[in-house]
Amino acid sequence: MLSLASPSGLRRLWGGFLDLVLPPRCLSCGVPVAALGTLCVACWREITFLGAPCCACCGYPFDFDLGANGLCGACAAHAPQFDRARAVMRYDDSSRELVLALKHGDRLHLVPTLAQWMRRTGTELLAEADLVVPVPLHWTRLFARRYNQAAVLALALAKLGGPPVSADCLIRRRRTPSQGRKNALARRRNVAGAFAVRRTSAVRGKRVMLIDDVRTTGATVEECARVLKRAGAARVDVLVLARTVRSDG
């Protein structure tokens, strides 16, 4: 029941009022759309949503189905530290707007829709996870940005019925320079030793789902997975909003 005495009741009423006076807008480009929390047709067409068929391990999209255990060349040559990784969409010029808006733009109204997309992509992985752990920011960056976009996505997933979130068991103990223009080797060196598990008891024996917004070379999630496994995690799966696909360069 909607109670005006509670802050959430007032918020819902205010939200309903805004829906009446402001037409819903495309989450990416801002043109009017029919329903809240959606993309316009043009933006929807531009986004490359990823799914099967893909590498059973890292989720790299395949043109052809190689079967349930088919691996891409990179995973076959060198098994990643994580068990399975999946991404909602390809990180490219079209999805960058959504991802950067979440990271730097304080556009948190995107979050419920993005979390729903992540839940759909990660249904199988989430069903087998005991604990959701967001990739942490260093506290100085958290202070400057005011929120950790990975933690915001993890909490929104939990609200949709996902596994419980532990936002403090994995910490970033040193501030790493931006991964921006670095190549794969430099990125791995950049994050080596940057993460630590603060509460080993929280992850020991657990199936952990690591959450982040963007994955490029995978150096960050691999380093987090390595540290979590060393602390005793039974498995580490990864779910991100967007990933580069190697042919992107």
Asked if residue 28 binds Zn ion (CB under 5 A), the reply is: yes
Q: Which of 26, 66, 167, 171 binds Zn ion (CB under 5 A)?
A: 26
Asked if residue 72 binds Zn ion (CB under 5 A), the reply is: yes
Burial class (CB in 10 A: 0-12, 13-18, 19+), 167: middle
- Which range in 56-64, 111-119, 125-133, 209-217 contacts Zn ion by CB under 5 A? 56-64
Asked if residue 214 binds Zn ion (CB under 5 A), the reply is: no
Asked if residue 126 binds Zn ion (CB under 5 A), the reply is: no
Nearer to Zn ion, 72 or 236 (CB): 72
- The C-alpha atoms of residue 53 and residue 72 are separated, in whole angstroms, by 11
- The C-alpha atoms of residue 65 and residue 72 are separated, in whole angstroms, by 11
Dihedral of CA atoms 26, 37, 180, 175 in degrees, nearest 10, equals 140
Strand order in the sheet with 131-134: 84-90, 235-243, 207-215, 131-134
Asked if residue 43 binds Zn ion (CB under 5 A), the reply is: yes
- Which range in 50-58, 130-138, 155-163, 229-237 contacts Zn ion by CB under 5 A? 50-58
- The C-alpha atoms of residue 214 and residue 221 are separated, in whole angstroms, by 10
Asked if residue 242 binds Zn ion (CB under 5 A), the reply is: no
Q: How many CB atoms lie within 10 A of CB 63?
A: 6
Beta strands in the chain (DSSP E): 84-90, 131-134, 170-172, 195-197, 207-215, 235-243
CB of 40 to Zn ion, least distance (A): 3
Asked if residue 50 binds Zn ion (CB under 5 A), the reply is: no
Q: Which of 25, 38, 66, 75 binds Zn ion (CB under 5 A)?
A: 75
CB of 93 to Zn ion, least distance (A): 14
CB of 35 to Zn ion, least distance (A): 13
CB of 174 to Zn ion, least distance (A): 29
- The C-alpha atoms of residue 172 and residue 191 are separated, in whole angstroms, by 9
Asked if residue 58 binds Zn ion (CB under 5 A), the reply is: yes
Q: What are phi and psi of 42, to 5 degrees?
A: -65, -45
Judged by the rule CB under 5 A, the positions of this chain that interact with Zn ion are: 26, 28-29, 40, 43, 55, 57-58, 60, 72, 75
